[in-house]
Amino acid sequence: MNNRQLFLQHVAQTTDAPLALEIVKAAGMYMWDADGKQYLDLIAGISVCNVGHCHPSVVQAIQEQAQQYMHLLVYGEFVQSPQVSYAKLLTDHLPDHLNCVYFTNSGAEAVEGAMKLAKRYTGRPEIAAFNRSYHGSTQGALSILGDEYFRNAYRPLLPGIQHLEYNNFESLELITENTAAVIAESVQAEGGVIIPQREWIHALRNKCTATGALLILDEVQCGLGRNGTLWAFQQHGIEPDVLTLGKALGGGMPLGAFISSKEIMWSLTNAPILGHITTFGGHPVNCAAGKAAFQALLEENLVKDVKAKGEIFLQYLKHPRIKAVRSLGLMMAVQLESFEVNKKTIDYCIANGVLTDWFLFASDCMRIAPPLVITEAQIIEACKVICEALDQL
């Protein structure tokens, strides 16, 4: 059996039509398959590789840390300099009250931790989340996921969950003094890039403050520069009580985090102690990688060009078959007539060396979320292939 057949046979499959490309190398904006074919990456491993694949300083940081030490003991016992210095660097670039970082293994674990933290801090039973939101696949994160089709197969899920409508003022009335937290993506990603209206997200912030519910902003997908500011919430002019991060946080290695004030985080410390436990969360090699990626993001000034790069996409993505493009920076949803049209377009793009896909809750939209290092020439090349694909239909 070849590797592809072994993959289908022995690696668990959660879709009946996996892409099953065998990639042997990736660098910067590109990946290469086992036949040497090159792919321009428009999805960055779902918003992970913001500084490009295998950024040299990330690779170097991994190698150096792996030679120093790898796993030592469960999270929180030893002073491990990669964790400490990354937590310091992150909090230096966040509002003053977001000054305490709990590192996790993944985005979903960050969301789980944030939900638990809100329950402990407020002593309240309910969590509110939004329709069309995605926060992860574990049972707590699945309970708040905003799509009944995906939730229903796993009931019973967590009790006390309210689902609200994003960008809907009336929905905010459901936030009460029983609500421990409201969790929202700063930009809804899997819903097909839904941007909150400014007045609405301010009303959400105010309602949380008035009722004493914590506002958790999930920037697992949109954080770390993708929308054209380091944090998406900066564009809305509000601040969360708790921030969840993941994906690009590890620079290509698995790392998530929930971040709050020291005062809020303190509620995980006593009665019972060990409010959240993780063996590998904040792994030193992953923190070293994440910190190197974060430094590259800053030193190469990558965030500042994101909006202009997004504009170039918009300029070249002109085709009668494109119904709409929703975007903020380099997070874009290109809306087509139907899933069938989208799928054919994506297949053509992949066959012609441009890697893209669709969204979980917007199957008629093509995802464009490339590494932030994409150049103008690469954007034009990608748009040319997409428009050619649409011409073929």
Q: Which residues bind ligand PMP (CB under 6 A)?
A: 46, 106-108, 111, 134-136, 185, 189, 218, 220-221, 246, 256
Q: How far is the CB of 375 from ligand PMP (least distance, A)?
A: 26
If the CB atoms of residues 89 and 360 are measured against ligand PMP, the closer one turns out to be 360
**Residue 23 — φ and ψ, nearest 5°?**
-95, 130
If the CB atoms of residues 57 and 138 are measured against ligand PMP, the closer one turns out to be 138
If the CB atoms of residues 110 and 325 are measured against ligand PMP, the closer one turns out to be 110
If the CB atoms of residues 130 and 313 are measured against ligand PMP, the closer one turns out to be 130
Bridge partners (DSSP) of residue 243 are 217, 259
If the CB atoms of residues 121 and 361 are measured against ligand PMP, the closer one turns out to be 361
Question: Taking CB positions, which residue lies at the least distance from ligand PMP?
Answer: 107
If the CB atoms of residues 341 and 360 are measured against ligand PMP, the closer one turns out to be 360
Q: How far is the CB of 137 from ligand PMP (least distance, A)?
A: 6
Q: How far is the CB of 221 from ligand PMP (least distance, A)?
A: 4
Q: How far is the CB of 79 from ligand PMP (least distance, A)?
A: 26
Q: How far is the CB of 46 from ligand PMP (least distance, A)?
A: 6
Q: How far is the CB of 85 from ligand PMP (least distance, A)?
A: 23
If the CB atoms of residues 329 and 378 are measured against ligand PMP, the closer one turns out to be 329
Q: How far is the CB of 380 from ligand PMP (least distance, A)?
A: 28
